[in-house]
Structure 1
Amino acid sequence: MSQPLHRRTVLQCLVAAAASTAFGCHDDELPVEDGRPYFPQSVASGDPRALSVVLWTRVVDPERPDADIALTLVVARDEAFQHRVLEKAGLLARAANDHTLQVKVTHLEPRTRYYYRFIIEKEGQRLGSPVGRTRTAPAYGANAPVRFAVANCQDFRGRYYNSWHRLLQLDEDLDFVLFVGDYIYEADSSAVPSPDPARVVRFSDPGSALPRDLGGGRGELVAQSLSNYRDLYRTYRSDPFLQRVHERYPFIVVWDDHEFSNDCWDAHATYTDGRTEELQPERRRNAELAFFEYMPLDTTEAPAGVLDPEGLPRYPDTRIWRDFIFGKHLRLLVTDYRTYRPDHLIPEDAYPATVAMDAAVLGSLGIAGAFAADAFAYVNIDEFPAQQAVLRGAYVQLAVGAGLTAEAAAARAAALVRGNLALAYANPVLVAAAQPGAGPIDPAGKPRGLAFVHLGKQELFSSIGARNVVIKDTFDVYAAWRYATSGGGAQHALGEAQEVWLMGLLREGASTQTWKVMASSVSMTSMIWDLRAKADVEPPTVRNRYYFSVDQWDGFPDKRNALLAALRERTDGHGLVVAGDIHAAFASVEQGVPCLTAPAIASTAVQEEAGEAVEAAGFPPGSAVYRYVVTEQEATFREGNPGIAFVDTNAHGFTVLEVGPEEVKAAYHLLPSSEVRVDYSARPEELAARFSRSDFHVRPGGTIDAA
């Protein structure tokens, strides 16, 4: 979308024109002294292309906290800055942008390493930032392999960036680092105690943050204001290992949910699971501006010079999806899963008894016979006023217990406890209430349909049965029906414009690069718990197939299959998906397309998260459910999805890919999750010994083989 130019943008464009042509080295200039204290977040580079790259820094001057600060940028071919290609003074790190500065440098050479630094002048001294190193992409036709690391999910609170430390130890010869989301987590450290005060997140203006009730008397503050989000980036970028990785490699970054709000969609948060309305457009815009200020991005392929974060479109006009060409063999398609996606298909506040697909719908689809059992019986509860009154009373009691006022609970009960309701939910409530004249309703002769309870929804306000742990087989039926009746809109995760862009790049003749790699913030690997044949699982009603998380692509199964088909068919078998989000390492083939999911840098491993969830659901360690879903989680995932070639759900780390003409090599570097709270900064040899490595070959046509 075009944006109107204002005076500030025009001035910056003038500076940009000068920056792209200013060269020179002066023999009589003052030496550059170490000025690291003035650059507390160091330097970074990003979005490398064959002829350009974006360079970034943040500068602070305690004597001028509210003033714009002039900097000089120097770029050279050598670390000693003897062979300079650019030197430009008078670049302003503006107070309005938290004293961050991004400069796009153009007219560079392909596949060339450059060194850069920013300089501030103070009292006759020239004080330099740490020296950054970056590299441009290979020329379009260059027949050379491309190597990059995939990383994601780096919770800072009480954790150490041992994975970044290990990447630095390896000193990999990388073209870039692809970070696929959750660069920050939006919360402070209230709910995550840390014995190390250096690994704590605090807001400088806590009064502008949003309180979040975690239940059980626990709470935390989550970022809401621009100041809050800036605090997060400042804190995360204070880590010395993350700084050094940014100093060494250019990054290509896309956001996931935590850069704004957990499990978000559009501008909606999900903290209250439907108890309150959580449309927060201003909060979303604040989150985006801080992201644009702190990430070196070239989302609009802007001209050379200073880039203005405030000049970028923000919600609802945001666009961060973009593509990169690296030589002859890689076209990287960076997608945005969060900004345009619709709500989760099962509402968090869905009344479990509500019938979503009635007998007429099932009949029209020709599948009524599959749901003939009494478990799928429903009635029009309006025809049973005594039972309806009991169910409404139970709803009010549950809703008030969940935090609603009595008035709000009564209003919801009146709106929801009506019409077609499933007896699978209603009858147990009626039995428990034991009200004379309002007993359970006989399912004999009643119509059959699918209600939210049949999809796994058991509680009024919960992510379980909505975003997590849904019954796969019934969910797939419901999802397909919603997909068909909405013209695909119910599962349009990428939004119309982005999908048109993506399909255009995948069309025949649109790109000559050997491999088309789609970067997705959330995993394409289908993660299924199949408990159907587990005779020791109690109660028997739990013996189903479950999607572990429908916040990721499993939640949009029909759209997922359509995208995978396009990647498979339009790339001559040379399509690949790389992703993150789930805090586990996966390599799988989905619908003929290899899908690689990198483990988290530092966030809680999925095995630990699943253990907490399963215990909270009433299945303690020692129970069969806990054993299959937690203790034997990896085997259970493999049983549920035979396409999984590799899985590790209890490790942190990163994945290094090498894309060549014949195959893609993938190396998973993994650290046991128990080590994330151990500081190895002074013990590099011990850290190296605790990492393991698993290597795979990805070949055309959708095969993944262990090396």
Structure 2
Amino acid sequence: MSQPLHRRTVLKCLVAAAASTAFGCHDDEPPVDDGRAYFPQSVASGDPRATSVVLWTRMVDPDRPDTDVAITLVVALDEDFKHRVLERTGLLAQSAHDHALKVKVTRLEPRTRYYYRFILEKDGQRLGSPVGRTRTAPASGTNTSVRFAVANCQDFRGRYYNSWHRLLQLDEELDFVLFIGDYIYEADSSLVPSTDPTRNVRFTDPGSALPRDMGGGRVELVAQSVSNYRDLYRTYRSDPFLQQVHERYPFIVTWDDHEFSNDCWDAHATYTDGRTDEFQPERRRNAELAFFEYMPLDNTDAPPGAIDLEGVPRYPDTRIWRDFVFGKHLRLLVTDYRTHRPDHLIPEDAYPATVAMDAAVLASLGLTEAFSADAFAYVNIGEFPAQQAVLRGAYVQLAVGAGLSSEEASARAVAAVQGNLALAYVNPVLVAAAQPGAGPIDPVGNPRGLAFVHMGKQDLFTSIGARNVVIKDTFDVYAAWRYATSGREAQDALGEAQEAWLLEAGEGAQTWKVVASSVSTTSMIWDLRNKPDVEPPTVRNRYYFSVDQWDGFPDKRRELFTALRERAGGRTLVVAGDIHAAFASVEHGVPALTAPAIASAAVQEEAGEAVEAAGFPPGTAVYRYVVTEQEATFREGNPGITFVDSDAHGFTVLEVGPEVVRAAYHLIPSSEVRVNYAEQPEKLAARFSRQDFLVRPGVIDVA
């Protein structure tokens, strides 16, 4: 028998009835048993707006693995589900989509907490998922601060999600969690097996995966089929702390590269660094399908009810950039850096000697004097047939060593070793070959130009000097010229439609425009120009650590940031990730906060690998400046940096108010990522530190 309804309960029921196709108050809820085993990835919510939210689950019934199964969604104002606002039956968890289900719930009240669960009826039993809670956004005119966490990069293999554990410990009152990329990493655990079987990734259909040659006889499997990508999401979402964060907060998500393929652009992978054609549109579509199945996002402005996963546009018609209004003070602009961007400006398979900007081009730009040194001399190698033959032979040897067949290497040598070639690369090869009649060429009297070797490219088929460790000053000249002569397409990171949307959405000086970028906008520079202990002297340059980041599109970044700053009256803030470090900097007048990785290898570790690959092991001055003393070097190279921690994991919590944005970095040393603190919460809390900052238009201050 129902208990008498109190006046407050009646009022709650009236509010609930106004909110949706309501079912009023239910004091006689039929028993719902624990059905967690049927919901192995638990529940999640996402894309909260003032009157709607997306709710997600994955239902697994081992007795019906290939059957669409009907389940029920219940949404209520209370955790006991006495005051329901929605009960929707007959929702299908479809086998064609790994039994994942996303439901868009509308006609909700702004800035209201809701509880939800999914129910499976089986053999007369009602089996419930874990209970999730979510929260709608404040209405657009509401004068209230908005709090959210920023997270990214959560490699699972052999690592523990101590950062998620810490966020749960803090129990912050958040409006949402912003996850800005690398939710998964596309590889299995072939090369990084864990002694803890719960921290390994194994593909259920390894035969459909893509073998990736890592060199030295090492091969790892990377996701290629839909099955492979689904395995990754299932495995990552098996983590109890990640599940609990999803159960507690709505997520707003975008992707970066590893949801598809490392350092990708458009539908191109970069594993072979130009040795093969890596245009993989079908693999891209497979990756996107799994992402859309597992992420609680609404990128199609879907109608209420179950979201049609079959109808979500995929490559080349993908669009996941979208914006959110949270009250009076925050407009969140979520961008997509990967889908529409062009290739990296320096090809990974570029022949280092190839002259990219000849004497005529430099003269037209007024740069003849700047590049007058002998180091920039070049010749038309066709006028030196003996030397050309030696260079082609050296090319073939390098290409075969990189894995090409003799026939393909010879064909590429003919195509590459011709035309204008820089003596800075040519002459050392000729000296090493020591062939009679094919000695080095005198630079005196020869024209000057800018070649890929002058930007740091030393080898064939490599990311060094192409995507990583690129000489800044020469690269900037080349990038600006390419930008101007390509009709601005060479640096069109966002694509025409997305950029137009971003600039329009960025209008208005009364509201903070927070731009979510999956890659860091902070300029990361190693300045070795005035380091006399750096040897050889030719290495004393300024370097970009990674031009896969926004450093790779410097002119577009400057142009875009200037426009955003002006349109928003200075109230523009960029939050970013990907680089596995914490940064706070001001770039072209726009504050930029880069959140550290949840669990992926810290940038200090990755920089060490890149520098060693470039030929500077521990003990060298180069290694000391760019790895051991990396944070000081970053500060010296970019005076706009207020804060950097390149050897920590964690997350950032922001509070956006009318005038000031408060940012708190919660950090744990990266060395702790392989320690499981699940049963040691007090020890975990003691390992974390906190750094606080105040962001005002164009300024970041230590709080």
TM-score range, shorter chain: over 0.9
- Residue 292 of structure 2 corresponds to 292
Matched position secondary structure for 2:444: coil
Amino acid at match of 2:502: L
Question: Deviation string for 1:232-282 (max 9, x for gaps)?
Answer: 000000000000000000000000000000000000000000000000000
Q: How does 1:84-483 map onto structure 2 within 5 Å? A: 84-483=84-483
- Residue 598 of structure 2 corresponds to 601
Q: Tell me the distance in 2 between the aligned counterparts of 1:464 and 1:616.
A: 8
Shift of 1:219: 1.2
Matched position secondary structure for 1:227: helix
Matched position secondary structure for 1:418: coil
Shift of 1:615: 2.1
After TM superposition, the score normalised by the length of structure 1 is 0.96
Amino acid at match of 2:32: V
Shift of 1:86: 0.3
- Residue 9 of structure 1 corresponds to none
Matched position secondary structure for 1:522: coil
- Residue 575 of structure 1 corresponds to 572
**Contact 1:20–1:304 (8 Å) recurs in 2:** no
Question: Deviation string for 1:317-357 (max 9, x for gaps)?
Answer: 10000000000000000000000000000000000000000
Shift of 1:28: 5.8
Q: Tell me the distance in 2 between the aligned counterparts of 1:193 and 1:98.
A: 26
Change (3 A) 1:512 1:365: closer
- Residue 584 of structure 2 corresponds to 587
- Residue 8 of structure 2 corresponds to none
Q: Tell me the distance in 2 between the aligned counterparts of 1:615 and 1:345.
A: 23
Amino acid at match of 2:229: Y
- Pairing partner for 1:658 from 655, 659, 684: 655
Amino acid at match of 2:427: N
Change (3 A) 1:28 1:698: closer
Shift of 1:300: 2.0
Change (3 A) 1:92 1:512: farther
Q: Tell me the distance in 1 between the aligned counterparts of 2:132 and 2:509.
A: 32
Question: Deviation string for 1:523-567 (max 9, x for gaps)?
Answer: 000000000000000010100000000001000000011111012
Q: Which moved more, 1:601-610 or 1:299-308?
A: 299-308
Instruction: Using the aligned pairs only, state the percent identity.
Output: 84
- Pairing partner for 1:674 from 659, 671, 675: 671
Shift of 1:414: 0.4
- Pairing partner for 1:526 from 523, 527, 537: 523
Q: Tell me the distance in 1 between the aligned counterparts of 2:173 and 2:637.
A: 37
Q: Tell me the distance in 1 between the aligned counterparts of 2:263 and 2:29.
A: 53
- Residue 33 of structure 1 corresponds to 33
- Residue 621 of structure 1 corresponds to 618
Structure 2 alignment gaps of length 5 or more? 1-18
Shift of 1:504: 1.4
Change (3 A) 1:298 1:20: farther
Shift of 1:112: 0.3
Shift of 1:463: 0.3
Alignment: residue pair count: 685
Matched position secondary structure for 2:87: strand
- Residue 561 of structure 2 corresponds to 564
Matched position secondary structure for 2:142: coil
Residue 703, structure 1, aligned to residue 699, structure 2: yes
Shift of 1:618: 2.3
Q: Tell me the distance in 2 between the aligned counterparts of 1:687 and 1:613.
A: 31
- Residue 538 of structure 2 corresponds to 541
Q: Tell me the distance in 2 between the aligned counterparts of 1:176 and 1:301.
A: 19
Q: Tell me the distance in 1 between the aligned counterparts of 2:27 and 2:443.
A: 92
Question: Deviation string for 1:39-95 (max 9, x for gaps)?
Answer: 000000000000000000000000000000111100000001111000111110100
Shift of 1:379: 0.1
Q: How does 1:483-502 map onto structure 2 within 5 Å? A: 483-502=483-502
**Contact 1:30–1:125 (8 Å) recurs in 2:** no
After TM superposition, the score normalised by the length of structure 2 is 0.97
Shift of 1:605: 0.2
Q: Tell me the distance in 1 between the aligned counterparts of 2:106 and 2:272.
A: 47
Structure 1 alignment gaps of length 5 or more? 1-18
Matched position secondary structure for 2:414: helix
Q: Which moved more, 1:148-157 or 1:27-36?
A: 27-36
Q: Tell me the distance in 1 between the aligned counterparts of 2:443 and 2:531.
A: 28
Q: Extract structure 1 runs of 4+ deviating beyond 4 A.
A: 24-29
Shift of 1:27: 6.0
**Contact 2:29–2:82 (8 Å) recurs in 1:** no
**Contact 2:352–2:457 (8 Å) recurs in 1:** yes
Amino acid at match of 1:370: A
Q: Which moved more, 1:619-628 or 1:287-296?
A: 619-628
Change (3 A) 1:465 1:159: same
Shift of 1:506: 2.1
Shift of 1:30: 2.9
CA RMSD of aligned residues (A): 1.0
Matched position secondary structure for 2:518: strand
